Structure 1
Amino acid sequence: MATEQTLHMVGGVGATSYATNSLIQRQGVLKAQQVLEEAIKNLYGNNIPSCLRFADLGCSSGPNALLVASNIMAIVDSISHTLNCDPPSLQFFLNDLYGNDFNSIFKALPDLYIRMEKEKGPRSSPCFFNATLGSFYGRVYPSNSINFFHSSFGQHFLSQPPKGLLNKGNTYFTSTTPAEVYNSYLEQFKQDFNVFLKSRSEELVPNGGMVLVFFGRDGKDQNQTMITPWALVGIVLNDMVVENIVEEAKLDSFNFPIYAPTPDEVKERIEAEGSFTLKRMELIKYGWEAGLITNNNNNDDEGLLVDEESKGEYIAKYVRAITEPLLKAHFGESIMDPLFIRYKKKVANLLKVQKLEHSILAMFMTKKCFN
């Protein structure tokens, strides 16, 4: 329960909020757009039910919370237009943990409805939004009640840090940590993802579908484990331990409940659990600075012409928006500003000598039907 209470993004719309600092996740959703389109067309291209029920698991807050819903509306509307039929009613269930800032989502709904009416006019179909609180590592919805699940940037979060983990001086696993540290993370991911798949299979209607997009890593690139945003937090905290700003014991007892799996690790879990057929999986890479607006008016979303200091600040802000509630609960609020000022400088220096990339996994699967 402690993890569920602290595992949420920074709420509100302030300078350090997730709403203000979530462009990196937006880039990931947009890069995986083709997977979402293929999934919905594959499932409902020829036979659209009168009402489609979608659930967005780990919806978080801010503008991205309604981005997927907006994209789904456009896809379903396009399919309906192609088939020359009336679009179905849409029901969206937005799910996240108890600490999520749902208020900011609901405040944005009127603008979404206005935009829908302007874009679709008389073709606009009824659309209903509901919030469902609770962890997706377990049942959230009634049996056979959801047509389609979507979740972006959620499944790399574990239900808890691996138990009994001895990961001295680190907040995550790296290429230099002992094998047992990596194995502890992997086992926790296997347990959690198995529960996730089993729960979704019970909640989906027969032949229902699911699209997942989350942080992963390229199993062919062992250097991918060397520098991650989460491990870099540990490096900065180590510097603060040396300067007696942070207690060593505090650092040694903290581990991020995050695991970025390889494609093979995900496929193995899907096959072992047995409820789903994996239709498509892609590994997509893009820079840590993706989404940073350049000042050269081109369409390069990687921000290549922005100086390293600006990139470092941009990256530090979105990492803070993701991790601050967890860090604050363990280390206290007083070190947050100093920690991320140092983080910003550390990232800027790294970018001067190497390219830092995120890897995300985007996948589409369907529920198996057993006679």
Structure 2
Amino acid sequence: MTATDPAALTAALIRCPSVTPVEGGALVLLEQLLSEAGFDCTRVDRGETSNLFARWGAKGHARTFGFNGHTDVVPVGDETAWTVDPFGAEEKDGFMYGRGATDMKSGVAAFAAAAVDFVRDTPPDGAVILTITGDEEGDATDGTTALLDYMDAEQEQMSHCLVGEPTCPNHMGEMLKIGRRGSITAWFTVLGVQGHAAYPHRANNPLNGMVRLMDRLAGHELDQGSEHFDASTLAVVQLDTGNAATNVIPAHCTGAVNIRFNDLHSGASLTDWLQAEADKIEAEFGLTVEMKVKISGESFITPPGDLSDLVAGAVEAETGIRPELSTTGGTSDARFVKNHCPVVECGLVGKTMHQVDERVEVAHIHQLKAIYSRILKEYFA
């Protein structure tokens, strides 16, 4: 039988303009491929988001390996800045270009191709599940969470899962993720009393309190890192008054911070700290400080063990490099999967993701399929 070509599948997926939340034909293409390979496929659409659940093998099998990924992509930005068609999947000099080439249509293509060939050539005593979402680059409220809700309702269960996000900073085999930092964003509105800039004693400048608040938050050392995590970080990401005049003290101003935190904190503990700092500003400056918080995900870790050893061993066998076990980077859908089963992330080099002329080395797509194929073979051996 002819092997499934992951590069050709990547190209076909890139040509689907699936900018969040548009499905763009990507899941239709994958559903056809997987159905023809004997997978039971179900579209799990919620709201504007399209998702795909696919299982080969018996439902509820004690050994069920899962893959998770997404076919939605970020907008192309200024299309005139691209040297190629962002949805053309053009190949040149050994690279394939297009939005989603790295993040992460190549990863989805690699694990789909590996799964299709594996169950056809060496049908396992177990099951293989693929969960593919169209809402990873957006708010992620109706993507992998919807798939996991569906699985819970239908009593579908993965024993272990691999998320195919790009995980290598510079070269193949460099890194796999065994956890991720949490993320929390806090928006502040400081309310004062408007007045003339020449008579500041007749006003109460909200900027004075906001600047002091932001300085205290940015200057605070959250921690020095933990066993598996780097130090937590806080970034001031917004500061605005909407004030076009230079002779007016504004009545209010807004600001926001984003914190990426390790396992020494929780979203709740950081919310309490942020609120306490806001309360201090109210007391010191006689201002009103309102705060709104969004916790995008808690920090988590899958402790090094059988799963990470299996994946790292497959990476080393195919690349000659033993990958570092890391928790760096932003958030991913692994933050949802970890509530279902042990999860790690392993994928391609991510240097050009979200950039103009996003591209992937074609040879790496084939190498990634080989890694995923080896993982499946050894998992079910």
Judge same fold: TM > 0.5, yes or no. no
**Which has the larger strand fraction?**
2
TM-score, structure 2 as length reference: 0.28
TM-score, structure 1 as length reference: 0.28
**Which has the larger helix fraction?**
1
Give the structure with higher Rg (CA).
2
